[in-house]
Every structure is written in C-alpha cells, then in structure tokens.
Amino acid sequence: MSCARPNHICPLCGGPNACAPAISGSLDTPCWCRQATFSQALLERVPAEQRGLACICARCAGFHVDSLTAGGQPTSATET
C-alpha cells in the first residue's frame, strides 16, 4: 500500500481539496480527481514549492463533485 501526503489544502485557493487519499493516508483510496482532467495551464498556476505536494480542489479544477457522491460521473462546471 502506498502512502499519500496529508495535505488537505488546495494550493490555488487555500480551501479544502477533499483529497480522499490524503484523508485516508493511502493512494489506493478512490478519489474524485481520478475522473477529472487538469489542463497544463491550470497545473502551471500551482506555486512551484507546492507542485506534487497538494491536490487542486474540485472547484478550482472546474468540476462539480455532487454527482460523484451519488455514484455518477463528474460533470464539467461549464456544461449545462
């Protein structure tokens, strides 16, 4: 089992990132972000000292997480 870093803060907005692996301590834990797509431009906004250390939250990634809690697929915030 692999261990996740316990960083629960989004490096872009400073809010909670809801990183399930960080909460559980295991990279084997399913997480909303595995269904998400992160653009290179978004990743480049993460401060250099926090890259690879903290997850971007769903809000900053532009995804709604509500459907995931109901077992659905994530939807882009721009889709209607």
Angle value at C-alpha 5, between 11 and 56, nearest 5 degrees: 25
pTM for this entry? 0.66
Instruction: Indicate the domain borders of the chain.
Output: 20-74
The rounded distance, in Å, linking the Cα atoms of 41 and 21 is 24
CB atoms within 10 A of CB 8: 15
Quick check: helix, strand or coil at residue 9? Answer: strand
Q: What angle do CA 50, 61, 71 make, to 5 degrees?
A: 120
- Which pLDDT tens digit goes with each residue over 42-75? 999 999 988 888 889 989 988 655 444 444 444 4
